[in-house]
Amino acid sequence: MSKVKFGDIVKDVKINVDRDNNPYEFYVAGDHMDSEDLNIRRRGRFATDDVGPAFTRIFKKGQVLYGSRRTYLKKVAVADFDGICANTTFVFESKDPAAFEQRLLPFLMLSEGFTNWSIAHSKGSTNPYVLFSDLASYEFDLPSLAEQKVLAEKLWAAYEVKQSYLKMIEATQEMVKSQFIEMFGGGNWPQKTLGEVGSFTRGGGFQKSDFVEHGIPCIHYGQIHTKFGPFITSHITEISSDLESKTKFASKGDLVIAITSEDTEGSCKSTAWLGDYSVAVGGHAAIYKHSMNPLYMSFFFKSTLFNHAKIEYVHGTKVFEIKPDDIAKILVPYPPMSLQNQFSAIAEQADKSVFELRKSVDAIDKVIKSLINENL
């Protein structure tokens, strides 16, 4: 191994396009890149989107994109097409493939050392950003080229296995959604409003800053967006018992619904609380107590039936919100409880499969992180 600096082996590619004569069809924005996902799963089109003036940086297939803002998000992706990104996104490539293996670059940028360095050298507080001059001075041990190639093969092989498991998870989840529509979406069942079969209560009384190590079990609306699936049986955070009188509680079988989100799609994302104890629910969320099967109701909130119906009630520009009183107006199919329970059994079995698949994904993630941090 030899000590090298990031700037000695990596080139910051700055080639800009003339927006008045732009030959590229696609662009990639920051929200098109997901944390620790080396694939670009979404992209925009210049022909249909209102694209800001910052989108001038050209990238080519095989180059590595890196979000310069909030680098703790670890937005690193390998381009699989040619396009344009904003000037706040770095475009990187190996300076000399005979000295540094290009396929190793994205994994280097996911290493603990590189991430900690980029965070420590970021500027600003609200929307921190890092400069290439600061990244360039990051120093690390670089294996020989032969060792780099072997390491890159191992890492990409593990990454592809991880992707195959993630695809199976997605397919399983889509199967359950399709089963819901097949069983209940044909218009064969009487309908009632959500207000007729249940009641909504706004959460409140605490924020993230109120989390403590030991206290009252709680659900924060952000966890519904990022952590929880169709149902949960245990909490992951707690708040001080001093806040007990100020907050609202969900009981077993209740839905906990995020009524605030960054986009219309995320509005009313929900989870069914199936724990054997009550849990406090924070602001920007609502508790829905109802007379239906909890999993049936949870998947109704994820269905195209519900998502089409909610659109007229979601309001906002940068932050989107829906009022519980408006959610209560939405119609829900009202099939016999026996059929709701039948669907619930299917959903529970699928969730068990997803749980096992996620364990495999977590195990592979540990292998990848270990390979990265032990060798780079």
> In whole angstroms, what is the distance from residue 59 CA to residue 15 CA?
8
What sections of 14-80 are H helices per DSSP? none
Joined tokens for residue 338 = 């026996």
Tokens standing for residue 202: 């706004």
Burial class (CB in 10 A: 0-12, 13-18, 19+), 176: buried
Q: Give the C-alpha separation, 227 to 208, whole Å.
A: 14
Residues 39 and 126: their CA atoms lie apart, in Å, by: 27
Structure tokens at 294: 């909890």
Torsion, Cα 159 163 165 169, to 10 degrees, reads: 150
State the CB neighbour count (10 A cutoff) for residue 260.
19
One digit per residue, pLDDT tens: the chain, 376 residues? Answer: 789 999 999 999 999 999 889 999 999 999 899 999 999 999 999 999 999 999 999 999 999 999 999 999 999 999 999 999 999 999 999 999 999 999 999 999 999 999 999 999 999 988 899 999 999 999 999 999 999 999 999 999 999 999 999 999 999 999 999 999 999 988 789 999 999 999 999 998 888 889 999 999 999 999 999 889 899 999 999 999 999 998 999 999 999 999 999 888 888 999 999 999 999 999 899 999 999 999 999 999 999 999 999 999 999 888 899 999 999 999 999 999 999 999 999 999 999 999 999 999 999 999 999 999 999 8
Query: Residue 261 belongs to what H/E stretch?
Result: strand 260-261
pTM for the model stands at 0.80
Rounded-to-integer distance, Cα 336 and Cα 190, Å: 10
Residues listed for the chain: 376
Task: Work out the burial of residue 372: count CB atoms within 10 Å of its CB; fewer than 13 is exposed, 13-18 middle, 19 or more buried.
Answer: buried
Q: Up-side HSE of residue 284: CA atoms within 13 Å toward CB?
A: 20
Report the distance separating Cα 258 and Cα 237, nearest Å: 16
116 is written with which tokens? 């900690």
Q: What is the DSSP letter of 286?
A: E
Q: Which helix (H) or strand (E) is 224 found in, with range?
A: helix 221-226
